[in-house]
Structure 1
Amino acid sequence: MFGLAESVKHTRVYQEGLEQEGQTLVLKLLSRKVGKLPPKLESQVKALSLEGVEELAEALLDFSTLDDLSAWLQNHDPGQ
């Protein structure tokens, strides 16, 4: 049974689910931290890979404005 659970974690659907969950959480945190995001910035966050979302989750702790988010996104290509 353990082998099956491990193989499920490597499926595309599972990975996409993790990515979506991460994006949802980061978007909520960003909205709380810097206010409602413009659609363009929200789209850029949604385009990030799981690794990018994880990096953003850590970086957003230092954000105080939407400009901070914009600057961060300019330096991080989607799908990294």
Structure 2
Amino acid sequence: MFGANELKQTRFYQDVFAEGEQKGKQEGKLEVKLEMIPQLLAFGLSIEQIAQGLGLDEQVVRQAAQPKS
């Protein structure tokens, strides 16, 4: 039977952990970009400029620009 310490030392665990950590970082970066959109719009940038500058799809920028209710 594997204990927690033995499991953490396996290649499978380390690969899955690293993959999850990477995915979390990507989601965090996306969240920051989405939070910036209203501020960039307030500076007068267009949806297209913001999408291009942040590397996002224009539809994603449009959705993030919608007021939250």
TM-score range, shorter chain: 0.3 to 0.5
TM (normalized to structure 2)? Answer: 0.43
TM (normalized to structure 1)? Answer: 0.38
Which structure has the greater CA radius of gyration?
2
Q: Which has the higher contact order (CA 8 A, sep 6+)?
A: 1
